[in-house]
Structure 1
Amino acid sequence: MTPFGISVPASSGNVGPGFDSTGLALGLYLHLHVEGANSIQFYSDGESTPTENHFIWNIAENIANKHGIRLPACKVQETNEIPLARGLGSSASAIVAGIELANQLGNLHLTPEQKLQYGTEIEGHPDNVAPSIYGGLVISTVLEKEIEHIQLRDINVDIVAYIPNIELKTSVSRNCLPDSYNRDYAAKASAISNLTIAALYSKDYKLAGKLMEEDLFHEPFRSELIPNFAYIREEAKKYGAFGTILSGAGPTMLSIIPKGNGPTLQNNMSTLSLLADYQVKYIPIDYQGISIQE
C-alpha cells in the first residue's frame, strides 16, 4: 500500500440564522496518515486505540460494508487540531474522515454527492458535513430523495474564534430550543436568514454581520449557556467586527471582520481579562474541503 494522508477541515454550523442549513469550513484540521501494515492499527495523537472503539474506523467499516468490501490491514495515525465539543464540527469532520478512509482504502470512487449523502445520514443534517467536504460557505437542505447545496467560495472576510476551555454537548444546547415556533415568528426568522445569505452573496458584509446577530432560531435561547456572550459581541464591535455569532451550538463564538483585520482583532481581544481562559484565534476560511496527500 502506498502511504497517503487525509485532511478534513473544521466547520461552523448555522452561521447565525442559517439554522441547520448553513456551514462554513475553517482552517483547523483533522489529519489521518495511512500506511500498510500486517494488522489493523489505529493511533490517536500517538496513543494506540482499539479499532472496535474508534469512531472514525467504525464509520469506515460501515461504509465499506455498504459496498460489500472488507478494508485491508493498515496503520492509521490521527492528529486533530479541532477542539472537541466546542461547536467547531469535530464530529462532522470525523464522520467525513471515516467516509474518505473507506473511499481510499476500498477504491470506492465516491462522488462528493455520495459522501454528502452518507455523512448526512450519519450526522442527521448537512450543515457541518457539507463544508467539510466542499470547503467555503455551503447552504444545503435535505429534500425527499436528495440533498441540494450551493457553495460560495469567495467570502472576503476574516474570522476570529473565541474558544473557551469548557465543553458544551450539542444535545444539551439543542434541548434549550423550542419544540416549535409560531407562524409570524418563523416567517421573520426565515426572512432574516434569507437576507443574510443574500448579503453574503452580494458581499455586503456590514449588512450580513448585522443580520447574523439578529438570528431568532437558536441564539436567543442558547446565549444564556454561553459565558461572556454579550461581552464578546460588544467588545468585538469596538475593534471593527461586522458581527459575532455562535459557532454551531457553541460555546465557541466567531467574529466576522474585514479582510486583513483578523490578526489585529485577535491581538486586541486576547488582552481582555475576561477572556484570559479563552483561546482567541484568527482562523482562515478553508476553500478546499477534504484533501488527499499522496
Structure 2
Amino acid sequence: MTGSFTVRAPASSANLGPGFDSLGLSVPLHTTLRVTPQDVTEVVPLGPELEGTPADESNYVYRAMLLAARRAGQPLPPARVEIWTDVPLARGLGSSAAALVAGIVAGNELLGRPLTDEVVLDVAAREEGHPDNVAPALFGGIVVATLDKLGTHYVRLDPPANLGVTVLVPDFELSTSKARAVLPREYSRADAVHALSHAALLAAALAQGRLDLLRHAMQDYIHQVWRAPLVPGLSDILESAHEYGALGAALSGAGPTVLCFHDTRGSTAPLHAYLNGVMARNGLTGRVMDFGIDTRGTVVERD
C-alpha cells in the first residue's frame, strides 16, 4: 500500500461495574499514528504522554503492527510511524488497548487490508487477553464481547439518547497487573449469580435506554470491592455519587479513573463539585471531565 495515512483509535472504559472483561464503551480521547511508507523503519513517539517510550521496533505500537503481519502471513513493509496520544497512561482508560488497536489497524492498512475487522478484533483481544477495551476502541459505542477458543464475538450498541460520561482521572498511575493481583482466585456462587444478573441487566438497560436502571445494574462484587483500597475515595463515590446527579458509577477498567454516567439534559456541576471534594478529602489531585460516548471507533484517513 503506497501513500501516507493516519489512524486514530479512541480510549475506552471497561467493565462498567459488573461487566468484568466483557463490557466497555469508547471515550473521545485518542491515540494517533501517522504512517508513511519508506525504505527503512522509523518509530517516532511524540508529545509528553509518550516521553520515555521506545523509539525503535520494540515500541508497543510497532509490535502491534507486526501482529497484523503475522496473522496475515506477510512481511510488514518498512515505514515511518509517528505516534502521539492524549489518552492518559495507566489510568484505566484503555491506553494500551488504543495503542494495540491503532497498531494492528495500521499494520493491516500498510499490508493492503488483508484482515477483516472481525479478525483485527480477534488479534487484539487475544493479545490483550480480554475484549472489553479493544472492542469499543475498534468499533466505538458500547460493546459487549466475549473471547473463547472459537473466536471473539461481540454486539455493538449505539449509546442511549441523553447518556453522557463524567470521568475523574486522578494524578497517579495504577498498573493493571497490580489491580488484577488483588482479585481473589475463587468466588462464591452468590457473587457469581450477582455478577451474571447485574451484567445482564446492565447490557439490557443500555440496549433499551433505561437510564433509570443504571445505578442498580452497575453494582459489582467481582472486582470493585477488592480494588477499592487501591483507589482512595472509590467506595464513597460508588455509594453516594447518585445523590449528586450520577446515573451510575464504576471504576473505569482497572482504575484509578472513576466513571459516572450522567443525563446530558441536566447540569453536571453538582457532580463535578462532589468528585473534586472526594479527591480533596483524600489528598488527591486530578481532573474531572465530561464526554459524550465516541461512536466512530478507529478511523483511517488517507492523504
TM value normalised by structure 2: 0.90
C-alpha spacing 1:184/1:4, structure 2 compared with 1 (3 Å) = same
Confirm or deny: 8 A CA contact 1:136 1:285 kept in the other structure: yes
Out of 197, 205, 227, the position equivalent to 2:232 is: 227
Which residue is 1:178 aligned to? 184
Instruction: Provide structure 1 residue ranges, at least 5 long, that are not aligned to the other structure.
Output: none
Query: Please, which moves more after superposition, 182-191 or 10-19?
Result: 182-191
Which residue is 2:65 aligned to? 60
Q: Aligned to 2:249, what secondary structure does the other structure show?
A: strand
Residue 51 of structure 1 deviates from its aligned partner by 2.2
Residue 271 of structure 1 deviates from its aligned partner by 5.4
Which residue is 2:20 aligned to? 19
Q: Aligned to 1:208, what secondary structure does the other structure show?
A: helix
Confirm or deny: 8 A CA contact 2:194 2:220 kept in the other structure: no
Residue 128 of structure 1 deviates from its aligned partner by 0.7
Which residue is 2:102 aligned to? 97
Residue 85 of structure 1 deviates from its aligned partner by 0.7
Q: What's the CA shift string for 1:118-173, capped at 9, x where partnerless?
A: 01110011111111111111101123312221111133311010000111111111
Instruction: Provide structure 2 residue ranges, at least 5 long, that are not aligned to the other structure.
Output: none
> Which letter maps to 1:171?
S
Q: What's the CA shift string for 1:3-29, capped at 9, x where partnerless?
A: 210000111111110111101111110
C-alpha spacing 1:164/1:271, structure 2 compared with 1 (3 Å) = closer
Q: Aligned to 1:26, what secondary structure does the other structure show?
A: strand
Residue 69 of structure 1 deviates from its aligned partner by 2.3
Is 1:281 the equivalent of 2:289?
A: yes
Q: Aligned to 2:57, what secondary structure does the other structure show?
A: helix
C-alpha distance in 2, partners of 1:52/1:231?
A: 44
C-alpha distance in 1, partners of 2:194/2:39?
A: 59
Q: What is the alpha-carbon root mean square deviation over aligned residues?
A: 2.1
Equivalent residues in 2 for 1:1-294 (5 A)?
1-45=2-46, 49-156=54-161, 157-212=163-218, 214-233=219-238, 236-261=241-266, 264=269, 267-269=272-274, 272=277, 274-275=279-280, 277-294=285-302
> Which letter maps to 2:37?
G
Residue 64 of structure 1 deviates from its aligned partner by 1.1
Residue 99 of structure 1 deviates from its aligned partner by 0.6
Query: Please, which moves more after superposition, 272-281 or 152-161?
Result: 272-281
Sequence identity, in percent? 35
Residue 38 of structure 1 deviates from its aligned partner by 3.6
TM value normalised by structure 1: 0.92
